[in-house]
Structure 1
């Protein structure tokens, strides 16, 4: 079961169409690739798929993620938005409808920025989904 979960999570990254929002638009592809560097903290917000659950990608991209990003200030390096397409294996059902991710320099600064805004962030969920997200905090190692 643990191996299946790990495999599913690894495959998850190959099963999404990304819509990245970066500071400093207009940089070359080489420079953009360097933005996600070793040691950054990544906060992934995963929205599990289930029958009858909904997700408004347009609202999420235009309103929710920019709102949260605005709270993070100069600690934010980049954020991305991904739309789930399918599970990792052929004919496997969709695991996640969407994934949002924030890449930040400091986890403690991220937490300090989010804490006073947590009620507003949670209240906004109803505007785009009826799913309770799963959050994963990780360190970029490569």
Structure 2
């Protein structure tokens, strides 16, 4: 083989190896996230959209959710906040204005932490929304 062909093959091999190494961690991180969340308890607090109802996202993000997260202590793995943008069906109304989700290790510990703080949590609703939330408790399967 001539020198140029060998050099080209070496560069091609190096590019393929580099590309595959670059892609592999992204897949494994996503896969690892699914593994670490499996079995967790997910508490979704959903705020349905309705004409004339209000929701203060800044307050929810900076005050309410951190307050509730503080009650959950080490049982809390993570929490997320979602702002509704639209429906999955074009030209249909927004189903939820916002969704707050807590991922916890134990439902029993979650309930024990929330029970004595329920009144404080409910009283805080008036500071950010006029919507009664819908709450779904589920187990992460995957």
TM-score by length of 2: 0.77
Count of aligned positions: 115
Secondary structure of 2:94's counterpart equals coil
Structure 1 residue 92, shift from structure 2 partner:
1.4
Q: Does 1:60 align with 2:60?
A: yes
Which whole-Å CA distance do the structure 1 matches of 2:82 and 2:36 have between them?
16
Aligned to 2:136: 136
Instruction: Looking at secondary structure, tell me which structure has more helix per residue.
Output: 2
Q: Spell out structure 1 runs of 4+ moving beyond 4 A.
A: none
Aligned to 1:105: 105
Gaps (5+ residues) in structure 2? 1-24
Which whole-Å CA distance do the structure 2 matches of 1:49 and 1:39 have between them?
30
Which whole-Å CA distance do the structure 2 matches of 1:87 and 1:36 have between them?
29
Gaps (5+ residues) in structure 1? 1-27
Q: Does 1:79 align with 2:93?
A: no
Which whole-Å CA distance do the structure 1 matches of 2:60 and 2:114 have between them?
17
Structure label with greater radius of gyration: 2
Structure 1 residue 36, shift from structure 2 partner:
5.0
Secondary structure of 2:89's counterpart equals coil
Q: Does 1:93 align with 2:93?
A: yes
